[in-house]
């Protein structure tokens, strides 16, 4: 898993309801079909990313990942939120190491 891919989660969480609303409002069968395909792809990607987060067993790492990739907070905001003398750089490195190790 990569940070770039996880960062898409916050956008997917917003896009799915917008697509659902557009599908309901659409009177065009071709447009509805296109929107339904986009919705399927978004839901599948969101589910995969949510499963990755759900598999994180270390509560602290899960909290950091949730704040960053679901909440969209900056590393400095996350450092302030979790406290404990954690710096933005140390949290970013911890997240990078976790993903690099294939966890």
Q: Is 103's pLDDT higher than 70?
A: no
Would you state the pLDDT for residue 67? 95
Would you state the pLDDT for residue 74? 95
pLDDT, tens digit, 9 for 90 and up, residues 74-86: 999 999 999 889 9
Average pLDDT, the chain: 91
Please report which confidence band the pLDDT of residue 10 belongs to, taking 50, 70 and 90 as the band edges.
confident
pLDDT (mean) for 21-31: 90
Query: What is the full DSSP assignment across the chain?
Result: --HHHHHHHHHHHHHHHHHHHHHHH---HHHHHHHHHHHHHHHHHHHHHHHHHHT---HHHHHHHIIIIIT---HHHHHHHH-TT--HHHHHHHHHHHHHTT-
């Amino acid at each position: 898993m990569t940070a770039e891919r996880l960062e898409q989660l916050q956008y997917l969480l917003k896009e799915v309801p917008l697509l659902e609303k557009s599908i309901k409002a659409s009177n065009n069968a071709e447009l509805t079909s296109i929107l339904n395909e986009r919705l399927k792809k978004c839901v599948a990607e969101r589910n995969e990313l949510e499963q990755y987060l759900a598999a994180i067993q270390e509560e602290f790492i899960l909290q950091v990942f949730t704040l960053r990739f679901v909440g969209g907070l900056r590393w400095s905001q996350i450092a302030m939120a979790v406290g404990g003398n954690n710096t933005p750089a140390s949290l970013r490195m911890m997240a990078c190491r976790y993903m690099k190790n294939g966890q």
